Amino acid sequence: MGVVIPLEDKNPTTASVKPLIHLTASDMDKVNQLILSKAGSDVEMIPEVANHLISSGGKRLRPMLTLAAAKMFGYQGDGHIKLATGVEFMHTATLLHDDVVDESDLRRSKPTARMIWGNQASVLVGDFLLGQAFKMMVDVGSLDALDVLSNAAAVIAEGEVLQLSVAKNMATTEDDYLAVIRAKTAALFSAAAEVGPIIAGTGKAERDALRSYGTNLGLAFQLVDDVLDYGGKAQDLGKNVGDDFREGKITLPVVLAYRRGSDDDRAFWRSAIEDGESDDDALERAHSLIARSNALNDTIARAEHYGAMARDALAPMAESPTKAAMLEVIDFCISRVN
């Protein structure tokens, strides 16, 4: 595939999420307990569906960001546990609804909830988790945190609808695509990070810094995810290389390869993405066009750009092990393509 990782002085390929995991471990235990307790219900199907997705092995990066961002500013209470759990529930609800909307069969190599319990249960359990998320957030009692999180919920939903309109549409520009992932992915990363300083009662500069960090980390994270689908290893991905292509998803590598291709190439992309002619031969041609157009390396370069913005956003904050761990996560997200 020829994916070239731009090596920097700090050698991002050795960057790890482990320091963040270590620093938030005892709080994450509490988050995990709260997740299990709040996904519970006398209505049997709710814990079944919720636990299926919750136990499916995501990294829980978003709640870790909330915990770390609160810790970074010396927060001593326990409201960050509920906010982090709420953030994870918002994410889980989005995944449940996404799989219905995208008609996805697999997530992380396991059948999606909708394949086991049906679209109906997926829609409604998503609604339930969203309701629980808001209840927990209200419990914490911070109107500023509620403002940020409810705004994120509205932006995420708006982004999902926007995505419907760019779906299978090869005229999508890089800006169009960025608007989608800014809303769908970056908004929750941003809110997850910003509620940390909010609950810790910092000033505006700290809130702005963490919001910017979260937004740009989210963009970098999503762009690398896009690259992985055209070049990663299936066992790391929890999905098969080529899933995005077969589902006709527009991602940045496709946007770039299309724009840089010949008329013939563009006709191919339209038939593959817009008309669904995306069999294994087509996937092979897609890989070759993406390689020829250098689309993966340039998508990684874009991710590096947002990673640099995330790094600079945190620059004025006092040095601490938490800050170091949050910076390392940027490099870790990008180094996943190696």
Cβ 247 to a copy of itself shortest distance, Å? 13
User: How many C-alpha atoms does 37 have within 13 Å on its Cβ side?
Assistant: 10
Strand (E) or helix (H) holding 240: none
With respect to a copy of itself, which residue has the nearer C-beta, 158 or 247? 158
| Identified binder of a copy of itself from the candidate list 67, 121, 296, 314, rule CB under 8 A | 121
Structure tokens at 132: 């629980």
Could you give phi then psi for residue 172, rounded to 5 degrees? -55, 125
Site stretch for a copy of itself (CB under 8 A), options 137-145, 288-296, 314-322, 328-336: 137-145
Site stretch for a copy of itself (CB under 8 A), options 17-25, 68-76, 136-144, 289-297: 136-144
Cβ 114 to a copy of itself shortest distance, Å? 11
| Identified binder of a copy of itself from the candidate list 111, 134, 168, 309, rule CB under 8 A | 134
Strand (E) or helix (H) holding 332: helix 321-335
Structure tokens at 69: 């961002």
Q: What is the Cα–Cα distance from 207 to 190, expressed in whole angstroms?
A: 10
Give long-range contacts, CB 8 A cutoff, 24+ apart: 73-77: 73/196, 73/197, 73/200, 73/201, 73/202, 73/206, 74/200, 75/196, 75/199, 75/200, 75/201, 77/199
Structure tokens at 165: 């309109």
For 120, residues 6+ apart whose C-beta sits below 8 A from its C-beta are: none
Q: What is the Cα–Cα distance from 233 to 215, expressed in whole angstroms?
A: 26
Site string for a copy of itself, 43-82 (x = CB under 8 A): xxxx------------------------------------
Site stretch for a copy of itself (CB under 8 A), options 70-78, 133-141, 197-205, 220-228: 133-141
Binding positions for a copy of itself, 8-47, rule CB under 8 A: 41, 43-46
Strand (E) or helix (H) holding 111: strand 110-111
Site stretch for a copy of itself (CB under 8 A), options 58-66, 143-151, 228-236, 264-272: 143-151
With respect to a copy of itself, which residue has the nearer C-beta, 176 or 298? 176
Q: Is residue 128 within 8 Å of residue 92, measured between CB atoms?
A: no
With respect to a copy of itself, which residue has the nearer C-beta, 84 or 286? 84
Q: What is the Cα–Cα distance from 234 to 179, expressed in whole angstroms?
A: 28
Number of chain residues interacting with a copy of itself (CB under 8 A): 41
CA distances from 157 to 73, 133, 146, 153, 247 (A): 30, 15, 17, 6, 21
Binding positions for a copy of itself, 147-166, rule CB under 8 A: 147, 150-151, 153-158, 160-162, 164-165
With respect to a copy of itself, which residue has the nearer C-beta, 148 or 327? 148
Asked if residue 138 binds a copy of itself (CB under 8 A), the reply is: yes
Site string for a copy of itself, 87-106 (x = CB under 8 A): ----------x--xx-----
Q: What is the Cα–Cα distance from 92 to 130, expressed in whole angstroms?
A: 9
With respect to a copy of itself, which residue has the nearer C-beta, 157 or 291? 157
If one counts every other C-beta atom within 10 angstroms of the C-beta of residue 51, the result is 14
With respect to a copy of itself, which residue has the nearer C-beta, 78 or 127? 127
Site string for a copy of itself, 245-274 (x = CB under 8 A): ------------------------------
With respect to a copy of itself, which residue has the nearer C-beta, 156 or 314? 156
The helix, strand and coil proportions of the chain, stated in percent and rounded to the nearest 5, come to 75, 0, 25
Q: Amino acid letter at 303?
A: A
Question: Which residues of this protein are in contact with a copy of itself, per CB under 8 A?
Answer: 41, 43-46, 97, 100-101, 119-121, 123-125, 127-128, 130-132, 134-135, 137-139, 141, 143, 146-147, 150-151, 153-158, 160-162, 164-165
